[in-house]
Amino acid sequence: MEKTLTLSLVMLFLTLHLGLPEVLGRTEDPHADVNVKKRPPHASEAKSGRCSYTFIVPQQKLKGALCVSTAQETNRSEAASLRVELARQLEHLETLRAQLEREGSQAMEVRALRTESNSLNTRITQLYAQLLHEVIDKKDQVLEQKRVESLLLNATTQALQVSSNFRELEKKYGALTSMITSQNQFIARLEKQCQCRNTTLASPASATSNDVQRDQSVPPSQEDKLIGKATVPTITTASTPTDHPFISFPITKTPGPWRDCQHAMDSGETISGIYLLRPQGANRLLQAWCDQTSAQGGWTVIQRRQDGSVNFFRTWEQYKQGFGNLDGEYWLGLEHLYWLTKQTHYKLRVALEDWQGRQVYAEYDSFYIEPESDWYRLRLGEYQGNAGDSLSWHNNKAFTTLDRDKDGFSGNCAHFQKGGWWYHMCAHSNLNGMWYRGGHYRSRYQDGVYWAEFHGGSYSLKRVAMMIKPA
């Protein structure tokens, strides 16, 4: 625009410079310099009476007023037309200036718009990049979501599979448990039949044999250790003679029945062996091994392990009635234990022996169990001894067997520890577990014959016995 203005000014100058002589009375010589001096007029001009002027126009910018001869009318009209032309040019100049200003502002506007456009372009590029990034992110998220969904699906399928397997195993376990129960019942029936046969076919030879369970192997030499010779093959219950299917003990020849082994001891029976007992208030007779030598004697043995010859993974009914061999491994029976300990204040002694022959014991100054209606709950007194106390944790706990879960654990502790016990969650001791030879054993569960305070839970003891006598 500035160029245009300059050009216009130049044009104006030229118009003025070149046009004036012509308009105002130009010299006849077209090549005459504008900066010429006044010449004498021509003869012809002189003749016609006309004035001839030569204007000295500075070569610089046009400054000051133009000298126009107004002497003549013609020149006046030329000057008027020149003024008109000048006004027109000025007007044009103004127009151009206005246009210049307008265009200048437009140029500014365009520049601002361009700048804005540039920044908008940058912003658009930025937004596009961001959008692209988000699209990629979203795609990644979709892929990740699909992957997680697939994993979830797999896990669900596996969970269903495991659940189904678990149900199947549960069914199998139930079937096995019922099979064990029916087999035990069958064994008990067989034992009963054998006892009946022995009674009817009693002979001197059979009278001297110890009538043990047929699934147990008892060395014949042990029979000689018995105090009396067995003449009555089975224990009897006064009111229910068929109430003892799981254990069969020979009766001794010693007089009785005694209230307990202490009673027998007090009556002069100082040799350890099998004695016939009848607890006060109980309407049943029972037999038990009396230990008349350990710790001043008078101990009624309620449980014994020594060679692994008897299976202790048994049902509630079997733990209730007792099982095993009186001169070997056996469990006296919870019902018998209940009647015995109901008589008076008893104490409990647990005798333990490891595979190196080291013997220790744990005594509790009070011991009794609640009736079956309270699941033969254990009530225990203060501990003393050198074996360590691994039974007080079980105090006030109900008895649990493989078919009757009364423990505080979510599962059945008897299943894992392979025997009935006063389980808590689950045990610091279990003397009714699996009898492992050699001490330390490897098993998936802690299911040995153990007393945690003596050699820990993964050491199966060689000999253990639980015995009671009046405190």
- The contact set with Ca ion (CB under 5 A) reads 405, 407, 409
Whether the ω angle into residue 426 lies within 30 degrees of 0, i.e. cis, is: yes
At closest approach, how far in Å is the CB of 426 from Ca ion? 9
Contact by Cβ (8 Å): 391, 425? no
| CA within 13 Å, CB half, 365 | 3
Burial class, 194, CB count within 10 angstroms (exposed 0-12 / middle 13-18 / buried 19+) = middle
At closest approach, how far in Å is the CB of 417 from Ca ion? 12
At closest approach, how far in Å is the CB of 412 from Ca ion? 5
Q: Using the CB atoms, write b or e for 245-264: b if 16+ within 10 Å.
A: bbbbbbbbebebbbbbbbbb
At closest approach, how far in Å is the CB of 397 from Ca ion? 11
Which one, 266 or 405, has the nearer CB to Ca ion? Answer: 405
At closest approach, how far in Å is the CB of 299 from Ca ion? 32
Burial class, 97, CB count within 10 angstroms (exposed 0-12 / middle 13-18 / buried 19+) = middle
At closest approach, how far in Å is the CB of 401 from Ca ion? 11
Which one, 307 or 405, has the nearer CB to Ca ion? Answer: 405
**Cα–Cα distance between 295 and 409 in angstroms, integer?**
36
Which one, 53 or 409, has the nearer CB to Ca ion? Answer: 409
At closest approach, how far in Å is the CB of 314 from Ca ion? 18
Contact by Cβ (8 Å): 453, 434? no
Instruction: Look at residues 94, 82, 88, 65 and name the one whose alpha carbon lies nearest to residue 16.
Output: 82
Q: Is 107 left (phi over 0), alpha (psi -120 to 50) or beta?
A: alpha
Which one, 331 or 375, has the nearer CB to Ca ion? Answer: 375
Which one, 249 or 316, has the nearer CB to Ca ion? Answer: 316
How is residue 78 written in tokens? 């030329």
Which one, 320 or 406, has the nearer CB to Ca ion? Answer: 406
Which one, 403 or 407, has the nearer CB to Ca ion? Answer: 407
Instruction: Look at residues 380, 374, 381, 282 and name the one whose alpha carbon lies nearest to residue 332.
Output: 282
At closest approach, how far in Å is the CB of 262 from Ca ion? 36
Residues 6+ apart with CB under 8 A from 82: 19, 20, 23, 24, 68
Which one, 407 or 453, has the nearer CB to Ca ion? Answer: 407
Which one, 243 or 405, has the nearer CB to Ca ion? Answer: 405
At closest approach, how far in Å is the CB of 411 from Ca ion? 6
**Cα–Cα distance between 447 and 230 in angstroms, integer?**
35
